[in-house]
């Protein structure tokens, strides 16, 4: 028998657009480990990495587990078998699996993970990483999944949320999902502010259900275990589900935008934030998308705000001189466009006065004077009073000094919803007695 050790297990890229889901594989692995009475040291983690990388299936999520075991070799073998069995490699999955035996996570892991959150990493660097650190690993296909697998182990939370994912029975995979929209609305009302982004009240749309063929029935995001478990009791559906698992996550934290975009870091597909001054008048393109430039540290950056975000009107009301902070993902240059940041938020730091010159008003008649011709001043047509100069008026601004984020239906997994503004959740201690994992009775 091996000696007792702490085992970190990271895996990713087991799914394809046509099926499976890395979190479902995690559910299967946890089920197996629970049956063997394995001790869990933390929630399973569902970490979302850079949402702008081109080859993600959906939300660029990877999973890690932390357990205590005196049978690490046996467990590693079992997990390798499950990863191999459940990965949809025929349809393009490139699974990666990494084991790391230690209670503490070295800074190399954290650095790698931080980079995966906002930049593009070459998969050869992941292969070098596992070899250099002498890790036990496994991959299929091109090994792209190793990036998420390493990073999910190394993620250092500065804030976190939880997500309860419920899974369907196998015979239901690919079939339509039916849930009572009223129950979702009610659940959101009853659990606010401890759950978020479940129901779009403006559009009366359910936001907790995926639409693809994967095994997830719904996912409820929130701040603590009790609220999520309460939510499952309020939600109503006739479908008999297989079970659920609660993940600790960086969803809703906005963490992918915490790094600065500048002339060096603004590489294609990077995500981040910059502070600058609006340096040209925003242009509204066909379809309502808005384009403008921001100057920051003597560099000009192009920004795009798509109509679908619901904040394109905010962008169109910016003027030259406004100081703003913007965050988003870098789209690589194309034939027609330079490198551009697709904005995920606009925070207005200070607003320039919008001044405009206009013909003077006659003090006596309160009427706008008429120009007498070039450089000849102005005259009131009613009383004949004269004035030489135009007057300056201030046009009220339509936007305020505040943070503007996309509408709820345009949120990404990592978007920090407005109800989480300023919130840092570091306090949920893992408690194995809480119901973070459940397989319903057959």
Give the Cα separation of 325 and 330 in Å (integer): 15
| Residue 26: CB minimum distance to ligand ATP, A | 10
Give the Cα separation of 85 and 103 in Å (integer): 28
The residue number whose beta carbon is nearest to ligand ATP equals 148
Report the site for ligand ATP in 122-181 (rule: CB under 6 A): 144-145, 147-148
Per-residue tokens: 33 = 């480990």
- Give me the helix-helix angle, 72-86 and 22-35, nearest 10°: 140
| Residue 95: CB minimum distance to ligand ATP, A | 8
Interface residue with ligand ATP, options 8, 11, 60, 293 (CB under 6 A): 60
Interface residue with ligand ATP, options 82, 98, 121, 220 (CB under 6 A): 121
Residue 242 sits at φ, ψ, to 5 deg, of -80, -40
| Binding flag, residue 415, ligand ATP (CB under 6 A) | no
| Count of helices and strands (H, E) across the chain | 8, 25
Interface residue with ligand ATP, options 7, 9, 21, 324 (CB under 6 A): 21
Interface residue with ligand ATP, options 56, 323, 368, 397 (CB under 6 A): 56
| Residue 243: CB minimum distance to ligand ATP, A | 19
Three-point CA angle 77, 431, 426, nearest 5° = 105
Indicate the DSSP class of residue 207.
Answer: -
| Binding flag, residue 430, ligand ATP (CB under 6 A) | no
Would you list the DSSP string of 75-95? HHHHHHHHHHHH--GGGT---
Interface residue with ligand ATP, options 22, 114, 188, 259 (CB under 6 A): 22
| Residue 275: CB minimum distance to ligand ATP, A | 24
Query: With 0-12 CB in 10 A as exposed, 13-18 as middle and 19+ as buried, what is 212?
Result: middle
**7-15, 33-41, 132-140, 314-322 -> range binding ligand ATP (CB under 6 A):** 7-15
| Binding flag, residue 116, ligand ATP (CB under 6 A) | yes
* # chain residues binding ligand ATP, by CB under 6 A: 25
Specify the residue, 53 or 346, whose C-beta has the smaller distance to ligand ATP.
53
Residue indicated by tokens 């795009």: 304
Give the Cα separation of 97 and 309 in Å (integer): 35
Give the Cα separation of 227 and 60 in Å (integer): 26
**59-67, 159-167, 271-279, 363-371 -> range binding ligand ATP (CB under 6 A):** 59-67
Q: Residue numbers of the site for ligand ATP (CB under 6 A)?
A: 12-13, 15, 21-22, 49-50, 53, 55-61, 94, 96, 116, 119-121, 144-145, 147-148
């Amino acid at each position: 028998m091996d000696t007792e050790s702490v085992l970190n297990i990271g895996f990713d890229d087991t799914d394809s657009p046509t099926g499976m889901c890395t979190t479902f594989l995690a559910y299967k692995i946890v089920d197996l480990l629970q049956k063997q009475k394995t001790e869990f040291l933390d929630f399973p983690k569902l970490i979302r990495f850079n949402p702008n990388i081109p080859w993600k299936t959906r939300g660029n999520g990877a999973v890690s587990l932390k357990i205590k075991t005196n049978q690490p070799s046996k467990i590693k073998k079992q997990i390798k078998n499950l990863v191999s069995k459940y990965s949809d490699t025929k349809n393009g999955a490139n699974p990666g699996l990494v084991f790391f035996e230690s209670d503490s996570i070295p800074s190399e892991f954290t650095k790698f993970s931080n980079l995966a959150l906002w930049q593009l990493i070459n998969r050869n660097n992941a292969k070098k990483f596992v070899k250099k650190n002498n890790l036990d690993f496994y991959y299929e296909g091109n090994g792209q999944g190793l990036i998420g697998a390493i990073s999910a182990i190394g993620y250092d939370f500065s804030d976190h949320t939880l997500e309860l994912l419920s899974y369907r029975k196998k015979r239901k995979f690919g079939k339509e999902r039916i849930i009572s929209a009223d129950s979702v609305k009610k659940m959101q009302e009853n659990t606010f502010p401890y759950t978020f982004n479940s129901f779009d009240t403006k559009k009366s749309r359910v936001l907790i259900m995926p639409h693809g063929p994967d095994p997830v029935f719904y996912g409820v995001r929130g701040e603590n275990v009790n609220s999520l478990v309460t939510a499952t009791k309020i939600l109503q559906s006739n479908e008999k589900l297989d079970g659920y698992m609660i993940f600790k996550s960086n969803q809703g934290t906005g963490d992918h935008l915490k790094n600065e975009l500048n002339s060096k870091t603004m590489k294609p597909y990077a995500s981040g934030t910059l502070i600058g001054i609006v340096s040209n008048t925003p242009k509204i393109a066909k379809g309502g998308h808005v384009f403008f430039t921001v100057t920051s540290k003597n560099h000009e950056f192009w920004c795009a705000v798509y109509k679908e975000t619901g904040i394109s009107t905010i962008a169109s009301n910016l003027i030259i001189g406004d100081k703003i902070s913007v965050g988003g993902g870098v789209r690589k240059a194309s034939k027609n466009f330079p490198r551009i940041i697709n904005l995920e938020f606009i925070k207005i730091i200070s607003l320039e006065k919008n001044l405009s010159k206009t013909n003077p008003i006659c003090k006596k008649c309160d009427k706008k004077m008429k120009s007498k011709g070039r450089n000849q001043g102005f005259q009131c047509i009613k009383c004949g009073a004269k004035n030489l100069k135009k007057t300056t008026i201030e046009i009220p601004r339509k936007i305020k000094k505040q943070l503007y984020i996309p509408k709820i239906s345009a949120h990404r997994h990592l978007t920090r919803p407005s109800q989480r503004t300023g919130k840092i959740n570091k306090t949920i201690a893992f408690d194995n007695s809480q119901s973070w994992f459940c397989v319903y009775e057959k």
